Amino acid sequence: MDDMNYPFGTSEEVEIEDKTSTSESDGNKASDREVIDKKLRQFFDGKIVRKDLTKHIKEGANVPIYVLEYLLGQYCNSDDDEIINKGVETVKSILSNNYVRPDEAQKVLLQLRQKGSHTVIDMITVSLNMKDDYYEAEFSNLGLTRIPISEEYPEAYDRLLCGGIWCIVQLEYGADDMDDFGIVDSEGEKIRSKKSKQKDATPISIRKLTPIQMPHVDMDGLKEGRKQFSKEEWLDILLRSTGMEPDELTYREKWLLLTRMIPLVENNFNLCELGPRSTGKSHLYKEISPNSILVSGGQTTVANLFYNMGRRTMGLVGLWDVVAFDEVAGINFKDKDGIQIMKDYMASGSFARGKEEKAASASMVFVGNINQSVDVLLKTSSLFDPFPPEMGTDTAFLDRMYCYNPGWEIPKFRPEHFTNDYGFITDYLAGFIRELRKDQYGDAIDKYFRLGKNLNQRDTIAVRRMVDGYLKLLYPDGEFTKEQVEEVLIISLEMRRRVKEQLKKLGGMEFYDVNFSYIDMEDMSEHFVSVPEQGGGKLIPEGMCNPGQVYTVSHGKSDMIGVFRLESQMLPGNGKFERTGLGSDRECKEAVDTAYNYLKANGNRISGAISTSNSDYIVNYQDLQGIGMTKDLALPTLIALCSIALKRPAQSSLVVLGDISISGTLMKVDNLASTLQVCADCGAKKVLIPAVSMVDYGTIPADLMTAFQIIPYSSAEDAVFKALEVE
């Protein structure tokens, strides 16, 4: 597939390419960076910062990046190394003298009292004191509460009322009059309380407050500036703005990191990313964006997350653009209806509390760690396995995930993965990203493409939302070509299909339609999109197996449908029968004994060459997906025994379905459609089915019926003949 249709290349391809032209590419990268830096200084002057400055100071100061870059943008906005070095020292001095560390709060208050005034950098939250009719501020690190503040500030910066923001605040100690709290408006006039006397009035007052946040973003300037860069250059700039170095990443890895930003530009977007540790899953939501909040794993409440009925206040979804849950394995609602309300919100962007329905626009992000390899997870459970059981097995909840970002493909971050180059000031990045939430580009695909018939309404919405997000991030000016839309559409279909593939594992035939595709309106050609991790590692190998080796698919102990392998050996002896791999399971052992007893009674009807008195038989049973051993083993065991006795292998890529009783009566296959779906997923090309199951053929989708050769059998002997191709 060419670059246009699959823009993300395999890791092997990238490695080969890198090795062949390392020195040449290093030179090109350096020159490309210079070109980008020059254009950034030309078109985004005052809105960029050198990220190595951020990184070096950040290591010694535990302040949010957007606070740090606000100061760096003020004092280090130059190409002159001397000015930059001087500016860095100034920023360090400001942070040292003015940033409030929680353990030094009392020391700062001492300085304030001694000097009479002091400037601090802290997280400020404002609330209305209804009783006394004035606004009061709370300082997060300083520990001050109920500090009177002029109403002009919460009116101008409403985020002060909604969870708080970081600010530079000039404080004064000791006011002239106790009835005015030392508060002045923008004209310098004193603001007086409606209550003349305050017995508990504090001597601390706020002289001036400056939010560390850009008051306005010039979107026209952004769109004009975007026109000066290519797609590749703009992608690199976005990644550098989040602190990453794109030159250390493959093209596909860049796209995966970009995917993390979609919830920031899309309202009510649900994203999941699970992967190894140290891949920066929560970094963006915690450090980079002041408009997102990271909820650490653990207990939460409906009141905190959605709506507090006692206080009549909105929860986190109404205050932030993105609510991200870290360590999803630990998510636990104290309220029984918590997950139900979350499902309602994820589906519609609204929820019911009390007598009212509330709406919000916050996107939901779920990040966590995968403790096993992806191959193991795909074989034994689902990619949603790390979620708590009430979420990870609830198909209705998981179906509301628009996107599953494959975190295992993102490399573990090393020092070289963090950039030393120019990127947007985090405030500016967060500002224009927030403004982009108002734009809509999701209908761009209608001009060139049509989605395939396997996408249901929820799939269609998810894909359109992703296309919208990618286009807004990469092409905020709204200018893109057909090829660029196709590139975005392909990865969007992949991200949604990953969710659907896991739903198929958990929910069976309800979610069988996973073959996502898009149709080119120009020539009406249909292109299918797959997910990389589903491609290889088929459980049922192609080609002939060894004699005595048989595969079967049926319900295991956990009631999930899985693949089981039987391997047999025959030795000279006196008719002993040994089975391994079954443990102490009585039902399984009885089923296996049924097969051997049936062979002893009816072996001559199959072949005179089969002897149960002069040979010993050993059969090993393997549960390939770890779902618990199946009890439907009589027929597969019979075929395995005959195969080793006659030294004839079973047909290539064959799966045996169904079972027999001691008298040879055929048993129907339970849940035939879902069983066949598992056969297809595991690589089967031929399926042996009992004739009594033919009544269920109407429940099987047509494309599934044609996926392999169906071989019906009418008796146990017929099943053996057809499995071994004996005439």
Contact 383, 377 (CB under 8 A): yes
Q: Which residue type, as a one-letter code, is found at position 424?
A: F
CA 444 to chain centre: 24
Helix axes 22-43, 11-20, angle to 10 degrees: 100
- Residue 655: helix, strand or coil by DSSP? strand
Query: What pLDDT shows up at residue 290?
Result: 78
Query: What pLDDT shows up at residue 120?
Result: 92
Contact 347, 509 (CB under 8 A): no
Query: What pLDDT shows up at residue 214?
Result: 61
Query: What pLDDT shows up at residue 12?
Result: 39
Task: Give the integer Cα–Cα distance in Å for 287 and 430.
Answer: 11
- Residue whose token pair is 């929860």: 315
The pTM of this model reads: 0.69
Question: Which pair of tokens denotes residue 206?
Answer: 């706020």
Contact 293, 316 (CB under 8 A): yes
Length of the chain in residues, anyone? 727
Query: What pLDDT shows up at residue 130?
Result: 87
- Residue 551: helix, strand or coil by DSSP? strand
Rounded to the nearest 5°, which phi and psi values hold at 562? -145, 180
Mean pLDDT by 10 residues, the chain (727 residues): 41 38 53 84 83 74 76 76 85 84 88 91 90 89 90 83 82 64 53 45 86 73 91 93 90 94 93 89 83 78 82 83 85 78 88 82 90 71 80 85 92 88 86 88 88 90 94 92 93 92 76 82 87 67 86 86 90 89 88 91 84 88 84 93 91 92 89 85 88 86 83 93 84
Query: What pLDDT shows up at residue 8?
Result: 47
Q: Which helix (H) or strand (E) holds 501?
A: helix 482-507
Task: Give the integer Cα–Cα distance in Å for 166 and 330.
Answer: 29
Query: What pLDDT shows up at residue 660?
Result: 92
Task: Give the integer Cα–Cα distance in Å for 588 and 572.
Answer: 26
Question: Which pair of tokens denotes residue 444?
Answer: 């761009």
Query: What pLDDT shows up at residue 226?
Result: 92
Rounded to the nearest 5°, which phi and psi values hold at 227? -60, -20
Q: Which residue type, as a one-letter code, is found at position 615?
A: S
Task: Give the integer Cα–Cα distance in Å for 73 and 84.
Answer: 10
What DSSP state is assigned to residue 593? H
Please list the residues that pair with 550 across neighbouring strands.
566
Query: What pLDDT shows up at residue 203?
Result: 87
Per residue in 240-270, is it b (16+ CB within 10 Å) or e — as a string? bbbbbbbbebbebbbbbbbbbbbbbbbebbb
Contact 550, 620 (CB under 8 A): no
- Residue 660: helix, strand or coil by DSSP? strand
